Amino acid sequence: LAYRNCAHKINNRRPSSASHLHLSTHTPPKQQYLLFEIMACTLDRNDPLGGLPPKHCLDGGYKPAFTDRLQLEEALLFCKTTLESNLKENVNLVRVSAPLFVTRASGFNDNLNGTERPASFEPRDFPGVHLEVPFSLAKWKRWALHYYGVEAGKGIVTDFRGLRCDDDVDFTHSLYVDQFDWEKHIRPEDRNVEYLKKTVKAIYKALYDTEQAVSKKYGIEALLPEELTFATSDDMIKDHPHASPKQRENILCEKHKAVFFIGIGGMKEDGSLRHDGRAPDYDDWITQRPDGGLGLNGDLLVWNPVLKQSFEISSMGIRVNPEVLLKQLDLCHVPERKEFVWHQMLLDGTLPQTIGGGIGQSRTCQYLLRACHIGEVQHGWYNPAEVEILKKDGINLLGLGEFDADPSAKST
């Protein structure tokens, strides 16, 4: 099967450890996707209530840190503005505005797994023009560095808002995406694992300092260690060959509390997915590192004391250069993508070499404010049956997310 898109966590559409997705043998190669792999997931999609928080959080096992809604909103704003300020200072970023939609023909949207439906529309007076709400700004940000003329050593950060109509909906995932999407112009000689680690440390320091500020202001115990631990998927596979990706993450995070997991995407020698997936046209997941492993990217994970499991805060990496782009497109059996406007700009040298990633705003707030469900810190929509169970347990979701069926129902 074509290992197409080598999928960015399969857009979080990740099979549970008890299930696999099956593809028709009649599907053309370009439309086939290798999803036959247990990934770093928590959602059991065979369970009709699989989106609920872990059982220990239910039946009175969890008490929210905030019960006053306005105080919660103030805390959310404090978390986001503090983190953004720290990021800009530590990584040398400038805040820029970002698009709410892009044209389909441009190739600027993040293709994710290639099967997800983007939220799209045609302008009233321009039938046939297809505009899409981006899944992320992975490609747009690199173009924006060129557009704004950002020099090497400096970058941009955006307050990105998007929709993922086909995403899983559970206690850590939502149809609504809000993240600090950032990208930094680097020199070609910076394409190495040491530069990656240096940047990761700066981002982690921003997170660490933010938690310290939240703890001081709201009295929530700060738990992040001052030093971040680095690990590789290659070593973890050797050390724990029979563990699932999620189990490997849990082992690391429970021990070290904060880990940057290097080497996401690509295949193992037996042809199976190494550890989650990545699209072929942003992160570099094939370049060999001095330690013998592959990939100049990774995930920033922490141990969540409420959920008692690993918890992803950010995904990032050094981006593809023209050579790596062509190789990864071929590996994923989508060489036709190189004809898109964005890909042509990368291949002809218009776009700079970069490092970048996304830091989930609501996800980070969920961690910092010790919430057991992402809907407590974000307006969204969730499984009505699960919403009813949560309400009975005193877990109230924000806004319309609290309604189990009729949004016109009276709020309590």
Using alpha carbons, list the distances in angstroms from residue 181 to 130, 137, 141, 200, 338.
24, 7, 8, 14, 24
The reply to whether 299 belongs to the active site is: yes
Mode of pairing for the β-strands spanning 155-163 and 120-121? unpaired
Q: How far apart are CA 70 and CA 11, in angstroms?
A: 32
Tokens of 165: 């109509």
Residues in a beta bridge with 41: none
- Active-site residue (options: 312, 376, 386, 402): 312
Question: Rounded to a whole number, what is the largest CA-CA distance in the chain?
Answer: 60
- Active-site residue (options: 16, 37, 84, 110): 110
The reply to whether 44 belongs to the active site is: no
- Active-site residue (options: 136, 315, 353, 361): 315
User: 71: how many CB neighbours lie within 10 A of its CB?
Assistant: 12
The reply to whether 164 belongs to the active site is: yes
H/E segment holding residue 315: strand 309-318
Beta strands in 166-270 (DSSP E): 176-185, 229-232, 258-262
Q: How far apart are CA 102 and CA 99, in angstroms?
A: 7
- Active-site residue (options: 4, 13, 164, 274): 164
Packing angle, helices 361-368 and 69-91, rounded to 10: 110
Contacts of 349 (CB under 8 A, 6+ apart): 322
139, 162, 116, 126: which is closest to 14 by C-alpha? Answer: 116
Taking the CA atoms of residue 321, residue 323, residue 327 and residue 328 in that order, the dihedral angle to the nearest 10 degrees is 0
Q: Scan for tokens 């309400």, then name that residue.
A: 391
Using alpha carbons, list the distances in angstroms from residue 411 to 239, 369, 394, 399, 402.
51, 23, 14, 9, 8
The reply to whether 312 belongs to the active site is: yes
The reply to whether 315 belongs to the active site is: yes
- Active-site residue (options: 179, 310, 328, 353): 179
Mode of pairing for the β-strands spanning 297-304 and 120-121? unpaired
Report, as residue numbers or ranges, the catalytic residues. Answer: 110, 164, 179, 299, 312, 315
